[in-house]
């Protein structure tokens, strides 16, 4: 089973309050935008106008975006207990 296939069978219980907040002001002046390329779940996407759009819906809680952001624009915490990803393949 491929990585993509494994990711698709994970389950999520989403909280109305996202566990990640992104400072879009800082994103506008970020020239490299590594989050878009490195988030394994595709939570960061570029709009046609070049704006970074974020959605926590499929977040794998890996913490990569927090580590790679050169501008400390990502405020990251684990979801509240009982929420977030439910891994089916460990
Ligand atoms: S790397 Fe950080 S500042 Fe740059 S676009 Fe992503 S979240 Fe925004
Ligand atoms: S924690 Fe991982 S999966 Fe979640 S948004 Fe950040 S890079 Fe993507």
The residue whose C-alpha atom lies closest to atom 3 belonging to ligand 1 is: 27
Q: Which ligand is nearest to the CA of 39?
A: 2
H/E stretch holding 68 reads helix 64-68
Ligand 2 site: residues with CB under 6 angstroms? 20, 39-41, 43, 59-65
Q: What would the pLDDT profile of 25-76 be if each residue is shown by its tens digit?
A: 999 999 999 999 999 999 999 999 999 999 999 999 999 999 999 999 999 9
Whether 78 and 61 have beta carbons less than 8 Å apart is answered as yes
Contact between 84 and 19 under an 8 Å Cβ cutoff? The reply is yes
3-82: CATH topology is Alpha-Beta Plaits (3.30.70)
Measured distance CA(21)–CA(34) in Å, rounded: 16
Rounded-to-integer distance, Cα 10 and Cα 86, Å: 6
**Which residue's alpha carbon is nearest to atom 8 within ligand 2?**
39
* Amino acid 77: pLDDT: 95
User: Whole-model pTM?
Assistant: 0.90
**Which ligand has an atom closest to residue 65 CA?**
2
């Amino acid at each position: 089973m491929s990585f993509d296939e494994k990711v698709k069978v994970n389950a999520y219980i989403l909280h109305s309050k996202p566990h990640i907040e992104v400072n879009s002001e800082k994103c506008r002046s970020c020239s490299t935008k590594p989050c878009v390329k490195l988030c394994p779940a595709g939570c960061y996407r570029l709009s046609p106008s070049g704006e970074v759009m974020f959605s926590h819906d499929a977040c794998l809680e890996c913490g990569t975006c927090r580590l790679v952001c050169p501008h400390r624009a990502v405020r990251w915490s684990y979801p509240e207990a009982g929420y977030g990803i439910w891994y089916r393949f460990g």
